[in-house]
Structure 1
Amino acid sequence: MFSESKKGRNNETTRGQSNRIGKSTSIKGEVVSQADFRIDGKLDGSVETTGKIVIGQSGVITGKVICANADVEGRFQGELVVTNLLTLKSSAIIEGDVTVSKLSIEPGATFNATCTMKTGIKELKTSEGKKADKTA
């Protein structure tokens, strides 16, 4: 029905858009989007986006988040999967399981999580040619 060029333009338009959950808003459920999200309110459930998630200082997410990039100033509890860069500001509080490619933590942030880094792992070989422990 739609030509490829129309589909491409629609995706480019979506990427420039941003969604916001305000301070006085509380949501329970599942959110799926291709656009960026800023959460200053409370979200109980899951968010999945190909864009960026920003959890503002008053923002609280309990559940699962899957995104490309994330900046956290508020509170997160649950499972967090960031395919690129996770940045924790000094006011951030993270609890749960975190999977990232890159991680940046400012002094003062609370990071009580199991963290798995998915890229940048190299296998070291000992002088005898045997495999040693992995390192990041």
Structure 2
Amino acid sequence: MFDEKDIAQFEIEEEDFDTVMASDITFNGRIRFSRPFMIKGKVTGIIDATSNLLIDTTAEVNADITAERILVRGKVKGNITGNSLVYVTSSGSVDGDISSAQVVLEPGSQFSGKCTMSSK
């Protein structure tokens, strides 16, 4: 769901997501979901999911995140745990630790933290 072959597996069009948090929304608290979710707005708190998460280019997320596969196009400040994949595009930035079976950091992406890759 990320690089040409990885991203191809990840639905990245807005219509492919069950829930889209618009860019004019600010949310504080815990988000839990089990269907694909896209964030375009601002989130502070905790994100705990059993599905895919896309953090779009306009998003600002200050949260610890756990999800199946995570695509970061916007800004994340917090630790990220992807059960199978964390992909940070050239427009994305992560300030925190990343843990996943597979991690992709595109050239131009920004990352500050520790990266741990392990298969479960």
2:75 equivalent in structure 1: 75
Could you list the runs of 5+ residues in structure 1 that have no partner in the other structure?
Answer: 1-15, 121-136
**Match of residue 124 from structure 1:** none
Structure 2, unaligned runs of 5 or more = 1-15
**How does 1:1-136 map onto structure 2 within 5 Å?**
18-119=18-119
Q: Give the letter aligned to residue 109 of structure 2.
A: A
Cα offset, 1:33, TM superposition: 1.2
Determine the C-alpha separation between the residues in 2 that align with 1:107 and 1:22.
Answer: 27
Pairwise CA RMSD of aligned residues?
1.5
Q: Deviations over 1:35-80 (max 9, x none)?
A: 1110000000111111111000011110111000011100001111
Could you tell me whether the CA contact under 8 Å between 1:36 and 1:49 is conserved in 2? no
Contact 2:45–2:64 (CA<8 Å) still a contact in 1?
A: yes
Structure whose CA Rg is larger = 1
**Equivalent AA in structure 1 for residue 88 of structure 2:** L
Q: TM-score, normalised by structure 2?
A: 0.82
* Structure ranking higher in strand proportion: 1
Q: Distance in 2 between matches of 1:27 and 1:105?
A: 27
- d(CA) in 1 for partners of 2:18 and 2:70? 14
> Does the CA-based 8 Å contact 2:17-2:37 persist in structure 1?
no
CA distance in 2, matches of 1:63, 1:85: 18
How many equivalent residue pairs? 105
Give distance in 1, aligned partners of 2:78 and 2:105. 18
Secondary structure at 2:114's aligned position in 1? Answer: strand
Structure with bigger RCO (C-alpha 8 Å, 6+ apart): 2
Distance in 1, matches of 2:21 and 2:84, equals: 23
